[in-house]
Structure 1
Amino acid sequence: MMVHGATGGARKATNVTPPVDVYERAKSLGINFSRTCEQALREAIKAEEGRRWAEEHAEFIRHTNEWVEEHGLPLAQYRMF
């Protein structure tokens, strides 16, 4: 079932099954489960996408780093710091 949330866009209802101690501690502290899960998922997605991008472009990154080590930064003479 999709519903619209306060943050805009379609939402997807799902079940999350945390360990009892985690559930009870979070509930006692007034932590919003949906918001916290969403934030954690967004961070995990960003990290995984970054990891995959770096893996996919590892050869280019390695060649670029080798070139900079050998020749220095392009336009370095114009740096103001």
Structure 2
Amino acid sequence: MPQLYDEHASKKATNLSINSDLLSKARALKINLSATLEHALKTELRKSERCNWLKNNKNAIIKLNELADKNGLFSDAYRSF
């Protein structure tokens, strides 16, 4: 799978707005906000990339499934289940 982003890129300070109660509770639990945000963004990026890939390849997937339904799979002769 291709790399989603450059994990070795430099860090960049960023300002953002967040619910004040959520922030104070996260700080009280010593949650690393930067690491948590990076993880959440990586998860969202992966989901978005997957969705885009499926959208871009939808027709090819349909055609391949139709071909397999019509002709079977090359491995059908070797199946033991």
Q: Normalising by structure 2, report the TM-score.
A: 0.76
Count residues in correspondence: 75
Task: Show structure 1 runs of 4+ deviating over 4 A.
Answer: none
- Distance in 2, matches of 1:45 and 1:70, equals 36
Task: Report the alpha carbon displacement of residue 20 of structure 1 after superposing the two structures with TM.
Answer: 1.2
RMSD of aligned residue pairs (Cα, Å): 1.9
Q: Which has the higher strand share?
A: 1
CA-to-aligned-CA distance 1:23-62 (integer Å, 9 cap, x gap)? 1121111110000000111111111011111101110011
Structure 2 residue runs without a partner (length 5+): 1-6
1:41 equivalent to 2:41? Answer yes
* Identity %, equivalent residues: 32
Structure 1 residue runs without a partner (length 5+): 1-6
- Structure number with the bigger relative contact order (C-alpha 8 A, sep ≥ 6) is 2
- Distance in 2, matches of 1:12 and 1:79, equals 53
Q: Normalising by structure 1, report the TM-score.
A: 0.76
